[in-house]
């Protein structure tokens, strides 16, 4: 019995092709998948026959639902070594894609969350389809919007990135295009023809796109962009909750209801993460910060409890500790963000 690789890496027609291949797990990333992608990308950098890179997925369901959350939780409940190793390698992959010298095209044809966002956001071309569902839902399981979220989210228009980070909101292609998360839209029925055109003309990504992209249509989020920018502009999570409470409108009440289900600790982590990330001028500095956070958060109560409630027992009733935003002390956040011992800090690939 043969087992297919979890990620398929090959060169076709001048295109370095990376195809995520764990359809039953919605192509959630494993450590081995990250290593395989790094190896291929490093080889293609110096290969003059490779003009661009295409990242897609096998099967009907995708693009990538995140990382191997169960493994992270099992590791976090122990010594955390496997979780740290995964983050270290995944973040090296995120950084490699960010600085990659050749055009990268990501086809976000399906669920694009967590680790899938980390693969697609560094790409020069990010294609959404009607099947795209984008989200950074980590606050709902006591994690945080990592894989470069600290860099990408605060650079979205207004406070949209912070709103996405805190609420874990799921958005579709029109909103992805309106916010700049996706650079292009095409119907899923056009994707295979686009890939064929790219393989035929790997030196002209724009030319290959031209015949297949369409207008994504009206952005439903447009009606709430002013509300987001106004109500999520506070100097802290506490301020944002107070603004939402004072507003009293239906949309504000809905956001309060959503935020009430999230980990208070992780919301404060995400708020500080995005504030720091907005000020960085080097993507690598952001990944150093996120590795420090990840190395610690996976061993804390809220992540283990969030995974239990949402993924293992599926009772969707996590008992967060602390239970309120007001009770999350700055000293705890300081510990989460503090530098690691020099020999344990994250470093990019050389």
Distance CA(228)–CA(233), nearest Å, equals 8
Could you give the CA distance from residue 266 to residue 323 in angstroms, rounded to a whole number? 11
Q: Is 60 among the catalytic positions?
A: no
Cα–Cα distances in angstroms (integers) from residue 121 to residues 44, 153, 314, in the given order: 20, 10, 30
Q: How far apart are CA 4 and CA 22, in angstroms?
A: 9
Among the listed residues 56, 90, 146, 302, the single catalytic one is 146
Q: Can you tell me which residue has the tokens 């295109």?
A: 15
Q: Which of 110, 115, 148, 149 is labelled catalytic?
A: 115
> What is the rounded distance in angstroms from the CA atom of residue 188 to the CA atom of residue 176?
15
- Per-residue DSSP letters for 231-274? HT-SSSHHHHHHHHHHH--HHHHHHHHHHTTS-HHHHHHHHHHH
The residue from 68, 90, 138, 302 that is catalytic is 138
Active-site annotation holds for 234: no
Catalytic status, residue 146 = yes
- Which of these, 209, 201, 157, lies nearest to 185 by C-alpha position? 209
Contact 119, 190 (CB under 8 A): no
Omega before 63 within 30 of 0, i.e. cis: yes
DSSP code at position 123: S
Distance in angstroms (rounded) separating the CA atoms of residues 117 and 180: 13
Active site residue 207: no
Q: Which of 67, 110, 148, 150 is catalytic?
A: 67
Residues annotated as catalytic are 67, 115, 138, 146
């Amino acid at each position: 019995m043969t087992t297919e690789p979890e990620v398929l890496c090959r060169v076709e027609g001048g295109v370095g092709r990376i195809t995520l291949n764990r359809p039953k797990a919605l192509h959630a990333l494993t450590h081995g998948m990250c290593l395989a992608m790094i190896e291929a990308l490093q080889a293609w950098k110096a290969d003059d026959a490779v003009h661009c890179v295409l990242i897609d997925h096998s099967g009907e369901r995708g693009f990538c639902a995140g990382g191997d959350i169960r493994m992270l939780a099992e590791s976090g409940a122990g010594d955390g070594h496997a979780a740290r190793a995964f983050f270290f390698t995944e973040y090296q992959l995120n950084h490699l894609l960010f600085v990659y010298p050749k055009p990268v095209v990501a086809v976000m044809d399906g669920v694009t969350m967590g680790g899938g966002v980390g693969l697609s956001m560094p790409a020069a071309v990010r294609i959404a389809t009607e099947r795209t569902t984008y989200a950074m839902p980590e606050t709902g399981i006591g994690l945080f919007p990592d894989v470069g979220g600290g860099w990408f989210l605060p650079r979205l228009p207004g406070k949209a990135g912070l709103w996405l980070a805190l609420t874990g909101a799921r958005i579709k292609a029109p909103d992805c295009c309106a916010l700049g998360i996706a650079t292009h839209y095409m119907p899923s029925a056009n994707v295979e023809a686009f890939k064929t055109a790219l393989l035929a003309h790997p030196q002209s990504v724009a030319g290959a796109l031209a015949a297949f992209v369409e207008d994504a249509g009206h952005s439903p989020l447009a009606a709430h962009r002013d509300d987001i920018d106004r109500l999520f502009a506070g100097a802290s999570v506490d301020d944002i909750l107070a603004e939402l409470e004072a507003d009293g409108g239906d949309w504000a009440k809905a956001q309060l209801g959503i935020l009430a289900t999230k980990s208070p600790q992780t919301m404060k982590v995400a708020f500080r993460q995005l504030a720091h990330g907005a000020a960085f001028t080097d993507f690598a500095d952001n990944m150093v910060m996120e590795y420090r956070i990840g190395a610690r958060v996976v061993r804390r109560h809220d992540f283990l409890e969030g995974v239990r409630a949402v993924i293992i027992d599926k009772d969707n009733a996590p008992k967060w500790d602390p239970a309120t935003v007001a009770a999350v002390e700055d000293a705890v956040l300081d510990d989460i963000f503090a530098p690691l011992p020099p020999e344990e800090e994250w470093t990019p690939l050389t």
